[in-house]
Structure 1
Amino acid sequence: MTGSHEDEELARTAVTALTEQLALTSKPGLPDPSHPDHHTLRWSAKALAPGLAAIAAAARRTGEPTPALRAELGAIARGTEHSVCLAGGGHRGALWTLGLLVAAAAMTPADVLPTAKRLAALPDRGAPRRPSRGSTMSAKYGAQGARGEARAGFPHIRRALPLLTESPASRRDALLTIMSTLRDTELLYTAGPHGLHHVQARAADILSTGGTDTLAGARALSALNTDLHERGWTPRGSATLLTGALFVSALTSQRRGHDPA
């Protein structure tokens, strides 16, 4: 494939990971196909594709993480965020995570997470100075937030990857694994530290039953889902990292498929 075709394929794989995460059912506190905004979220996810392809092309052309590349990727991402807003909005966290992972995959397909870590460590000189919700919660509570997660090499994606298969139960268990330890800044914003600890403990309890493919786990998952929706608590950061894990898992499967027997 030519570079442009490879870049478009990386973008398609990333968007597919996001739409598969959106389509997953019984995600505690998170929108699934029964949510009234599901169609809009799927539609706006597709608006990420041109920007992600441009990110891949810039990274492939540069070949290694540099301050200039980091600045270029930031500018592309901000333009993409505007396009996504016009298509219905959402996915800001997914754009940050998938943008880094797509760029890393374009440069070093077999070493995505370490390369993404190096890229995330570089400053984005053009980034707006205004604080985000996530950065405010990080400063207030000492949580890593999305940037800290990336600069640490996405440890929660690493933790989720061994669990992932095509089965919905494996993907729900991967999500709960992330939820059980992630200091999700969205949850800190809506629920505070006590609410975050409540969610982490409930997610860990479900996993301790044997996961969501057991009768006890499925019942506990349903109860947690009801609880979070009633409280209005959304572990959005965990959902974003599940999307990243699905993307990296898909890349690994593609490489295995291309390997000679």
Structure 2
Amino acid sequence: MSDLSRKRERQSVHQPAAGVADRRVNAVDPDTLADLAAWALVEEAELTPKPGLVDRRGSGAHRDLDLETLRRSAQALRPAFRAMAEAAQDRQPDQSMREELAAIGRVGEVHMMAATGGSNAHRGAIWALGLLLAGAAIAGPAGSRHIAAVAAAIARWPDRFAPQASSNGETVRQAHGAAGARGEAQAGFPHVVAVALPALRASRAAGSTETEARLNTLLAVMASLDDTCLLHRGGRPALEAAQAAARTVLAAGGTATPAGRAALQALDADLLARWVSPGGSADLLAAALFLDRIDRSFAPWNA
């Protein structure tokens, strides 16, 4: 990125992006929350250059996904996101709500698979964003930590109608003792509220462009998350290599520095050579963008 481009992007950091982010967020409006969830997925997908992941350059370590497929998936999920937000309004977390949200999510997954030709573009994101937008519909403009806490209260209820077949993430969680998407949600999304959001805001405050800040946020999550996508495809060696390399980028000053960008390029090359992708970290970046947009609408730059 040229110095002029970086200067222009820094100047635009305080200006919301076009579309849903232009509107002041009504944290209890289902249409706005659904638009915002779909927006967060597209923003994550388009962020470039991401290590091992689909972005504007290409498909990363994926054979069945590309940027246009991820965009279609995000839009196909909007009705499910809206239905989840509507189902949560004027209610408190209980088993009935948990099961209703899960049923809506499974319908959304069918629509996602139809839109992507059978590719699992956003299964993990349906879970994370679905819970968080339900939490936002209940909590209103109460701040990211409170929204995440409400989402966790929903996630802790069992779903008696969950499919019996284990997902890849659940299989890996049991094999490696990782918290996985379920554990992350039940704990109140610690990698979102205690890792991603602080990293995002610290990078902005340090003068990074929005692209650099978001990349640094992804790397901060990667550095500590037991990403089940990495574990599934590359085992513990791939996870530990990715975590160490992400820490190296951040220690070099992040993606705003030449050394950090070189370290990011090396991380990307290693993940592609291993044919692995940090999809769990990407889902949590989207979740962070979702909560950050809500926080900035009501209390800019602090949560």
Calculate the TM-score normalised by the size of structure 2. Answer: 0.81
1:192 and 1:80 map into 2 onto residues whose CA distance is 29
2-structure distance, mates of 1:187, 1:16: 25
Deviation at 1:126, TM superposition (A): 1.2
- 2: CA distance, partners of 1:148 / 1:16: 25
Aligned partner of 2:102: which letter?
G
Instruction: Tell me which of 38, 42, 46 is aligned to 1:23.
Output: 46
Q: Distance in 2 between matches of 1:44 and 1:67?
A: 28
1:199 aligns with 2:245: no
| Pairing of 1:39-54 with structure 2 (within 5 A) | 39-54=68-83
RMSD (Å) for aligned C-alpha atoms: 1.7
The answer on 1:167 being equivalent to 2:210 is yes
Q: Following TM superposition, by how much is the alpha carbon of 1:174 offset from its aligned partner in structure 2, in angstroms?
A: 0.5
Which deviates further from its counterpart, 163-172 or 203-212?
Answer: 163-172
Residue 94 of structure 1 aligns with which residue? 125
Between the aligned partners of 1:35 and 1:91, the Cα distance in structure 2 is 17
TM-aligned CA deviation for residue 163 of structure 1: 2.4
Q: Which residue of 2 aligns with 1:78?
A: 106
Sequence identity percentage: 44
1:1-261 mapped onto 2 (5 Å cutoff): 6-35=29-58, 37-61=66-90, 63-88=91-116, 89=119, 90-109=121-140, 110=142, 111-158=146-193, 159-164=195-200, 165=204, 167-256=210-299
- The one-letter code matched in structure 2 to 1:15 is A
- Between the aligned partners of 2:113 and 2:233, the Cα distance in structure 1 is 23
- Shift, 1:254, TM fit: 1.6
Q: How many residues align?
A: 255
* Partner Cα separation in structure 1 for residue 248 and residue 110 of structure 2: 40
Query: Any stretches of 5+ residues in structure 1 without a counterpart?
Result: none
Q: Aligned equivalents of 2:299 and 2:246: distance in 1?
A: 32
The alpha-carbon deviation at position 189 of structure 1 amounts to 1.1
CA distance in 2, matches of 1:195, 1:163: 23
2: CA distance, partners of 1:255 / 1:200: 34
- Report the alpha carbon displacement of residue 153 of structure 1 after superposing the two structures with TM: 0.7
Aligned-partner Cα distance in 1 for 2:125–2:56: 18
Cα deviation, residue 34, structure 1: 2.2
The residue matched to 1:239 in structure 2 has which SS?
helix
Q: 5+ residue gaps in structure 2?
A: 1-23, 60-65
